[in-house]
Structure 1
Amino acid sequence: FPFLLVDRVIEYNPGVSAVAIKNVTINDNFFPGHFPERPIMPGVLMIE
């Protein structure tokens, strides 16, 4: 399943840049497997 890493696009300049928002909740599918006792958001997703 692909990740949906963007919930809302705030600004888009084609071929130049984009600014978007990702709302994170404890229900996101990566939390249960990324340290079940102490869930954290994986760093590779933070920099995405």
Structure 2
Amino acid sequence: MNNTEVRQQINQYLDGLSSERLELVADFLAYLADKESEDATQELFDNS
């Protein structure tokens, strides 16, 4: 599945969620984005 297909599927799931569940998803995405950033930073340190 390519990125476009994944994003479309995610949007379909999001459309069916309550406000409370959407907040949980937003928190989880923020966690993943932060983790991604930390991992990228660590990789830079490891390669220097």
Band the TM-score falls in, shorter-chain normalisation: under 0.3
Q: Please identify which structure carries the higher strand content.
A: 1
- Normalised by the length of structure 1, the TM-score is 0.20
Instruction: Give 1 or 2 for the bigger CA radius of gyration.
Output: 2
Larger RCO: 1 or 2 (CA < 8 Å, sep 6+): 1
- Normalised by the length of structure 2, the TM-score is 0.20
